[in-house]
Structure 1
Amino acid sequence: MPRPRSLTDDQLVAAALAVVDREGLAALTMRAVARELGVATMGLYRYVADRQALELLVVDHVFRSVDTSLPDGGWQERIRVLLDRMRVAVARHPAVVPLVLRHRQAAPASLRLIEAMLSVLTEGGLDGADRVVAQRTLVGHLLGFLQNEHFAPLSGPGTIVMSELSAADYPLLARTAADARSVPPDEEFRRGLDIVLRGLSAT
């Protein structure tokens, strides 16, 4: 019987992302990835223990693609650059957003990004509890935005339905939802992050 060919982590990730990008996250199974690679399903277990281990490889790959070499400038601008790079990296494979939420603290490359963010916050004069809250608030903004951008966008059906509500019953909601439909994702992310950074500067 021929010996199964050796597979690299990059090949495993490429196959997993091909499945997810084409068919959605629910389609990510060991069998589907094995089929994508042209190997037997049981042969895949030589390289990853289970689907969770495969998911972790995918998330680590996404985070490894983020450049942590930041430009000179103030700490706020450096934070903007880092978070925007993270947003763009995840947006290349929007269906993996739930995996990023699930495995963001277990993927080795995510630890490198957290360290880079904490370094910038420290340069900005934040430490102790202030740095803890700042880091978690920034990550919360990023993760919340990713969920909204890819699963509940301002231009999506939920907003459209709300914009068509009775103005007599929901005057502010209907008007705000109508306004929201004209806000591009880049602007939503940038302006939201500006609000967060202004609040952190006041601490």
Structure 2
Amino acid sequence: MPRPRSLTPRQLAAAALAVIDREGLAGLSMRAVAQELGLSTMALYRYVDDREELERLVVDLVLDDVDPTPPPPHAPWPERVETMVRRLRDTMSAHPATVPLTLVHRHRSPGGLRWSETVLGILTEAGLTGERRVVALRGLLGYVIGAIQLEHLGPLSGDGTTAIGELPPDEFPHMAETARHARNVDPDQEFFGGLALLLRGLRD
């Protein structure tokens, strides 16, 4: 007779997330998560079929922390979208190694779907419909996911600009000059400055 299931999906996801936070995405495996839970690898298979299912549970756990409540309706719609983007960024930035997983599993994550539904509602109220609304949502998601990865892999304002700043100015004049200015741009300024440009484009 099989033993009763004693671990919840949330507990499994928390163990997998702990492995990812500590060892990076490459460290996620059935064996590593089983060890985190104090189980044998075979015992873990009583709960999940494979690593892909663990990945889905992790994305659900992370994105469930995003508040989907629509911002106050009296605020201008770009500010409301910025609020939603800020919430998503704050949540995903707490576990940056999981960002690639959201690209694969976001369409099945209840938390991700709730966030998108709220943003689509704001865009609809702003008059964006049809294909334009599709492009707007995908543009926002692409910006957030890409910017978070850049921020945590090495923002433009970080030490990685040193090598760029030392490029031969006669061959790369714009890259070298931009790198020098980038030292004064902090991650928040970089992220929200880029977001402002995107939202400005959506107004046109």
Residue 68 of structure 1 and its aligned partner are, at CA, apart by 1.3
Q: Is the 8 A contact 1:60 1:109 kept in 2?
A: yes
What is the match of residue 10 of structure 1? 10
What is the match of residue 32 of structure 2? 32
Residue 4 of structure 1 and its aligned partner are, at CA, apart by 6.7
Distance 1:157 1:33, change over 3 A: same
Residue 89 of structure 1 and its aligned partner are, at CA, apart by 0.4
What is the match of residue 139 of structure 1? 141
Residue 49 of structure 1 and its aligned partner are, at CA, apart by 1.1
Residue 201 of structure 1 and its aligned partner are, at CA, apart by 0.6
What is the match of residue 186 of structure 2? 184
Counterpart residue type for residue 63 of structure 1: L
What is the match of residue 121 of structure 1? 123
Partner Cα separation in structure 1 for residue 43 and residue 203 of structure 2: 53
Partner Cα separation in structure 2 for residue 163 and residue 94 of structure 1: 27
Distance 1:155 1:129, change over 3 A: same
* Larger CA deviation: 154-163 vs 65-74: 154-163
Partner Cα separation in structure 1 for residue 157 and residue 195 of structure 2: 20
SS at match of 1:113: helix
Structure 1-normalised TM-score? 0.93
What is the match of residue 21 of structure 2? 21
Q: Is the 8 A contact 1:4 1:39 kept in 2?
A: no
Distance 1:162 1:4, change over 3 A: farther
What is the match of residue 165 of structure 1? 167
1:103 has 2:87 as partner: no
% same residue: 55
Structure 1, residues 73-129: CA drift from partner, whole Å, max 9, x if none? 121111001011101101111111111222222223211111111011011111111
Distance 1:38 1:128, change over 3 A: same
Distance 1:93 1:15, change over 3 A: same
Partner Cα separation in structure 2 for residue 171 and residue 198 of structure 1: 28
Stretches of structure 1 lacking an aligned partner (at least 5 in a row): none
Partner Cα separation in structure 2 for residue 70 and residue 145 of structure 1: 23
Q: How many residues align?
A: 202
Residue 70 of structure 1 and its aligned partner are, at CA, apart by 3.0
- Root-mean-square deviation (CA, aligned residues, Å) is 1.7
Q: Is the 8 A contact 2:81 2:119 kept in 1?
A: yes
What is the match of residue 154 of structure 1? 156
SS at match of 1:104: helix
Q: Is the 8 A contact 1:70 1:81 kept in 2?
A: no
Q: Is the 8 A contact 2:48 2:54 kept in 1?
A: yes
What is the match of residue 82 of structure 1? 84
